[in-house]
Amino acid sequence: MSDIVSLLMKLGGDNLMSALLVTMLLGTMLIAYFATAPGNPLASRVASLKDRAIGKVPAGKRARFKFNFSMETLKKLVEGLKLTRGAEAQSTADKLVKAGYRSREALVIYMGIRLVLPVLLTSLTFLIVALLHLPTDPPICRRRSCGASRRRAIAASPAPCPTSSTCW
């Protein structure tokens, strides 16, 4: 930073430094003015922060987004992916009717389950494996990890080491 200041002092001296400082201050004032102008959304944000700082509760609280997984959400998802159209969907609907589920929502629920369940179960499996630190490799024969005297005794035995279980 001092290199920049010394360079500017060499180029223009005090006059250049003063002009640069005035330009920066003017730019800051213009940015602050346009940020708090009546049409700008930041003005309402600044006003709500000011009200919050003095302890005044805002009159109209905006509802925050909350994910609500309902039948309507599932229906939008299944219809958006067009899973209720086509020959497979028609045969599935016929099978559901034969099973006693006669409403149109039965097809939506069934297709939604077919869509969500694999993702959910895969995520759950990865989570359980990660949390429990389960081994992902097949079991290794313990003969390779035993001491030298045991290795000689095991090498003399006629039975081969099974790969599906431990040696002991």
- Sequence ranges of the domains in the chain: 2-53, 71-132
**How many helices and strands in the chain, by DSSP H and E?**
6, 0
Record the pTM: 0.40
Dump pLDDT digits (tens) for 89-105. 889 889 999 999 888 78
Dump pLDDT digits (tens) for 102-159. 887 888 888 888 888 999 999 998 888 778 876 665 555 554 555 555 556 556 665 5
Cβ neighbors of 161 (< 8 A, separation 6 or more) are 141, 143, 154, 167
Residue 13, pLDDT score: 76
Q: Which amino acid is at 41?
A: P
Cβ neighbors of 10 (< 8 A, separation 6 or more) are none
Where is pLDDT greater, at 164 or 65?
65
Q: What are phi and psi of 101, to 5 degrees?
A: -100, 100
- Unique residue bearing structure tokens 């509802």: 63
Residue 149, pLDDT score: 58
Residue 19 CA to residue 105 CA, distance in Å, equals: 71
For 22, 42, 68, the CA distances from 106, given in Å and listed in that order, are 70, 47, 20
Distance from the Cα of residue 76 to its chain's centroid: 21
For the chain, give the mean pLDDT: 75
C-beta of residue 141 within 8 angstroms of C-beta of residue 161: yes
Residue 122, pLDDT score: 92
